Structure formats: C-alpha cells, structure tokens
Amino acid sequence: MPSVIDKSGQLDYFGRLSWGNFFDWLITFCLGAIIALFTVSLGGVRADTHVVLLPLFLILIVLHCIWLALDDEYPKRLSHVPLFFAPFMIWAVINVEWISPAPWLGRIELIYGMEAFLFFWVAVNNVRTRAHLWSLIVIAMSPAAYAIFIGFYQFFQNPSKMADSLASHAIQLSPEFFGQATGSFADPNSFAVLLLVLLPAFLIAGGVPRLPMILRVLCVYVSVMFIFALAFTQLFWPLMVLSFLILMVPSFCYRQRSKRLILPFIGVTALLSAVALMVWMHPKFLRSFENALSPEGESVRLALWSGAIQLFQGAPFIGIGGGAFPIAFGQSAEIHFDALAQSPHNDFLLVLTEYGAIGSLLLLTPIAWLVLVAFRRWRMEPDRVKLKGRKGSVMPPQKFFLSVALSGFIIFLICACFSFILYVPALMFYGLLFAAILVKSSTNRRIKTPSSGLMRTTYGFSGLFLAFLFFAHFMPRLQSHALELQMRQRLDHLTAEGIHISGNKRLLKNVVYGFEDALLLDSANTDALIGLSAANCQRYFQNPSEYSEIGKTGVTAALRATQLSGGYGLAWAQLGIAHAMSGEHELAKSAFEHALELAPNNSNVHYYWAAFLSPAPEMRDQALASVRRALELNPNNQAARQLQQKLLIF
C-alpha cells in the first residue's frame, strides 16, 4: 500500500509533518473562526457579543507563541510590516489615557485596535503556505452565504428578521430598517460593506483562468447573488461604490485594452438601467431613493462630515481624544443635529477628529505605502503563464492573490469613507485579511528571531503571560461596557412603560445592581455612574418619603461622574437631577446651568432644565422656552413633548 507521506515528509495538502506546521494549521482555523463567528453575530458590534468572542484572541496569542517555540525553521523570519502600525497604537494609548475627555469609551476603541493589530500580526506571520491561505479564504467567505440567506428572507418574507447576536437576552431589529436587507448585521450599511468588499474576489475568481471551470461558474453565480442582495439593502451610496468596482475589476482580470474599456461600459450601463427600472417599478426602491436624497436620509452624512471637520479644526494636531466623538459632537455649540451621532459615517474623518493629524499620518502612511508596494509588485507579475500538460494559459498564483487582495482592500478603503467599519469588528477583520495577503505577496520577512532552546521556552511562557495580561486588562472593561449598555436599555424600557412607578419593584432594583456590577468591573466607567444615579433617582416614584436618602445616593454617583469627566454635559445634568431629588435646589440649578454651558445643543439637557423649572409658576415661561428649544433640537423627544403639553395646559 503506497504511503500518503512522501520521502521528504510531506503530506498532501497538509504539508510538512511537523509541530510547527500543525500549530500553523490551528492558527489558520482560529483566524477563520474569528472572522466567521464575528460575521454571523451582528458583526461583533455589540459589546455583550464581543465579550463571548474575546477568548478567541487569547487562544490566538497562545497558539502563535507555541508555534514560535516549536517551529524548527532556521533561521526563523518574521515580517516587519505590522510594526509600521505600532507608532499609531502607541499614540492611541497616549491619546486615550491623557488627552481624551472620555477615556472609558476610548479604551473600548483600544480593545478594537489591539484585536486588529493581533489579527494582522498573526495573519502576516503565520498562514505560511498556499494551502493555509486558501483554507482561510474559504472559511472567511463562507459566512457570506448565511448573511445573504437572511438578507433575502428579510426582503421577501419577514422584514423584522434578525441574526443571532450570541447575547444572553433577545434583541430586535430597529424598526427603521424593517424591509431592508441587513444580513447577519444590525444595519444595512454594514451588510452592504461586506458584500462590496467580498464581491471583487468572486468577480476576479470567475473572470480569470485560474480555478476549474465549475468553480468559476459558481463564483459568477455568487457574484450575481451579491449584487441582488446589495440592491435589497435599498441603499444608494453602495451603488456609487459598485459602479467604481465595475470600472476597476476588469483591469485586474484582462490584458486586452478592449476588454478593459468595453466591459466596464457595459457593466455600468446595465447597473444604471437596472437601478432606474427598480426605482420606476417598485415602490420600496422609490421610497428609498426619495429618502436617500432627503436631509434625514443618506444625505445626513454631509451634516456629519461637516460637524466632524469643525471638531477637527478645534484640535487639528492632537485631536479631541479617542472615543470622544459622540460626546464632543453632541456638545458642540456650532453643530445642530437631531440624534446622537456615534460616528461621522467616515472612518478617515473619525480618526482625524479623535486622533488628530498626528494619528492620521501614523495610520494612513503605512496603509498608503502598502498599497503602493503591492501595486508595483502586481504590475511586475506576468499576466498569464502556460502549464505543462494543459491547454491555454492561466493567471499565476502570485498575481491572482495580489489581484484579489488589492481590489478588495481598495474597496474596503472606499467603503470606509461612507460607513463606520472601525466599529464593526467583522468588517475590520476582512480588510485586515486582504492587507495581510498584500504583505505576504509583495514583501519579504526581514526580522530574524533567535532559535535557541532558552528562547523557545521564553516564547511559550510569553504566550501564556500575554494571554493572561490581555484577558485581565481588557475583559473587565469590555464586560463593564456591555453591562452598562444592557442596563441602560432596561432602564429606558422601564421608564417608558411606567414600570418603575407601578410595576414590580425588583425590576428597577436589578437595574441598580447591574450598574453597580458594571462599576465593580470598571470603576472609571462614567456612563455606568450616570446610569446608577439615574436608576437610583427613579426609586423616588416607589418611595417618595425617602426622597432625601434616594437623592443622596444619586448625588454620590453623579458627583463621581463629574469628577472623572468634568466636561461631560450629561454627567452635570444628572447631578442636577440628583440634587433636585434631594431638595438641594441651588446646587441643582448650578449643575444644570453648567450642563447647558457644556452642551447648549443637547435636547435632553434642555428638557431636564425645563423639568426642573416647571414646578415654579414664576419660571413657567423660562421652562416653556427651554422645552421648545429641546424639541427644536430633537422633534422626536417624546418626554419633552409631553412636558410642553403640560406646561401649555396648566
């Protein structure tokens, strides 16, 4: 019986029989699991989902260090390219810890950044054979089928269908997205980015002679499904990116100038015709088109970009601080926006605003260098080569991988101009995968690592130490953030339904305990302190006779919040509420006035101030003016509208 292992110790597809290769396969599967699980779990955008999946990075660190210890390659070389991004990571830490007015939010961004750096480092330095790379690509592409299935189901069957989030509680799709395809994400924008980033790979795989014909046909079929799913998102900014994609992809596929000119013309013409036909024949697409042109629709990006530029002008070099964009945007005296904006829907502007020109240069310079080096290498590679025993010619593997990665990474960067990829880990990992392929295909490994027995042992123990350090430092902060968000949603639901007044008292008490647990995990979580104060103040409606004690507990938490973040308007507004609950009206007035100075265009702050003034008859006119201002800033503020009606009646 012939052996499956050849004389050189090679096993078909698996490669060399060695511990180093074995752990390289484990690392490949771990990287694939990270991409796949984050993608099918709302992109990992929710903090509670992120808590469940964070241990995968611990496993990745340990496996990588064990591979360093056991791999017998000599001399062992690692890539230097990921280190080009280390200065940005160092600047991000400095920015968050010493500059940002919202360090508790900036640390969540640091977690995302550290995960991205770890993923990129391991993907570049492991996954060393084509078999590893092909396996990782297949694993990474497979969640798209699940996402497309849900997207089609949402459009044709159940508009409110939502993918699983791995959270311990039920999550519903936002009503504003009903009828739009969101796939395995929580919003159609993220789903559109996934489709756009992966589409070039399938188009190139189907258009160039590299894979077997049956796989090429399958890739073309999948590409068509992607385009239909993209249309079902009912967004129009992705169509602009799709038009550019159609113009770009033939240049990566064909040598003949005629095909590079004719095919893009045919593709763009067909796309514009199809879009015009959909808008004309289907009412859903017509409404989406009208919404896209309205200031409240997709055109809202213009207002967000303008606001982000204004914030950048206030601190052009060092930025406003990591994680501070939503606070600074909501408190700006020059910016008027109806809703709370978490991101400017442009990741380049987000980095520029939060980390300044310094951070932008440290991040964008290595990216531009990588794209330029990869493009030069792509041009040097031959377009076609002939194989022995096979008719015709095929695209060489190096050119193929460069074409797929370069086109996908370019589309990834373009999508970053219209979306919030940095806050959706799954999308960020796809971009990093393409970037890692570019590094592997266009640069050489230059870092030599010692291979003595002592150093191998050091690598193994370093993996355990780094994994423990990573877990101990980041997991409590992420858990605190997740718990605070969950308790805030519960508190909003209790107050909206009036359960805190006449319902089960234990429900409100559990919310208080939840905020306290969040603070035990991260005592610097200012939002948890504000939530704890707000939850304690709601206890007044259950026990009005204990107003003084309840107010003091609320004051203690809110006062701590103002000490941690003195420039946070909502913290001062909550302190005013707590002082008012405890009967300290002068202190409450002072806190509210300071909150209005910090956040003159915040609808909630104006509502709280009006609610504080409303019991005094002589202050009725001032309260009415303030509540009207709250409704001007946010017409959907239902609490302010109810207060206005009461003031007008009485």
Query: Structural domain boundaries of the chain?
Result: 10-163+176-461
Q: How far apart are CA 489 and CA 248, in angstroms?
A: 44
More confidently predicted of 161 and 165 = 161
Q: Which of 283-292, 310-319, 416-425, 486-495 has the lowest mean pLDDT?
A: 283-292
- pLDDT of 24 reads 94
- pLDDT of 319 reads 94
pLDDT over threshold 70, residue 108: yes
Q: Where do the H-state alpha helices sit in 446-525?
A: 453-497, 499-502, 505-521
Q: How far apart are CA 537 and CA 139, in angstroms?
A: 50
Residue whose C-alpha is closest to residue 630's, from 612, 617, 650 = 612
Q: Is 77 helix (H, G, I), strand (E, B) or coil?
A: strand
Q: Which of 168-177, 355-364, 531-540 has the lowest mean pLDDT?
A: 168-177
As a whole-number percent, the residues of the chain with pLDDT over 90 amount to 52
Residue whose C-alpha is closest to residue 120's, from 351, 433, 424, 368 = 433
Over the stretch 245-273, which tens digit does the pLDDT of each residue have?
Answer: 999 999 998 888 888 888 888 888 888 88
Query: What is the mean pLDDT of the segment spanning 466-470?
Result: 85
- pLDDT of 1 reads 40
pLDDT over threshold 50, residue 307: yes
Over the stretch 597-608, which tens digit does the pLDDT of each residue have?
Answer: 998 888 889 999
Query: What is the mean pLDDT of the segment spanning 101-128?
Result: 94
- pLDDT of 203 reads 95
Q: Is 312 helix (H, G, I), strand (E, B) or coil?
A: helix
Over the stretch 385-434, which tens digit does the pLDDT of each residue have?
Answer: 887 767 778 899 999 999 999 999 999 999 999 999 999 999 999 999 99
Q: How far apart are CA 613 and CA 275, in angstroms?
A: 53
Over the stretch 219-229, which tens digit does the pLDDT of each residue have?
Answer: 999 999 999 99
Distance from chain centroid for Cα 120: 16
- pLDDT of 16 reads 81
- pLDDT of 309 reads 93
Asked if residues 457 and 69 have their Cβ atoms less than 8 Å apart, the reply is yes
Q: Token pair for residue 530?
A: 């504000």
Q: Token pair for residue 140?
A: 């990474």
Query: What is the mean pLDDT of the segment spanning 372-397?
Result: 87
Over the stretch 149-162, which tens digit does the pLDDT of each residue have?
Answer: 999 999 888 888 87
Sequence-separated (6 or more) residues with CB below 8 Å from residue 359: 88, 91, 92, 95, 319, 351, 352
Asked if residues 60 and 122 have their Cβ atoms less than 8 Å apart, the reply is yes
* Other CB atoms within 10 Å distance of the CB of residue 646: 12
Looking at residue 324, its amino acid is A
- pLDDT of 533 reads 94
- pLDDT of 13 reads 74
Over the stretch 334-347, which tens digit does the pLDDT of each residue have?
Answer: 766 656 778 899 99
Secondary-structure breakdown of the chain: helix, strand, coil percentages, each rounded to the nearest 5: 75, 0, 25
Q: How far apart are CA 272 and CA 239, in angstroms?
A: 9
Residue whose C-alpha is closest to residue 202's, from 163, 162, 229 = 229
Query: What is the mean pLDDT of the segment spanning 97-113?
Result: 94
Which residue in the block uniquely carries the two structure tokens 């305990």? 513
- pLDDT of 218 reads 94
- pLDDT of 114 reads 94
What are the DSSP E strand ranges found in 273-392? 385-386
Which residues on adjacent β-strands are paired with residue 449? 76
Mean pLDDT of the chain: 88
- pLDDT of 479 reads 95
Query: What is the mean pLDDT of the segment spanning 25-52?
Result: 93
- Confidence band of 10 (pLDDT split at 50, 70, 90): confident
- Confidence band of 4 (pLDDT split at 50, 70, 90): low
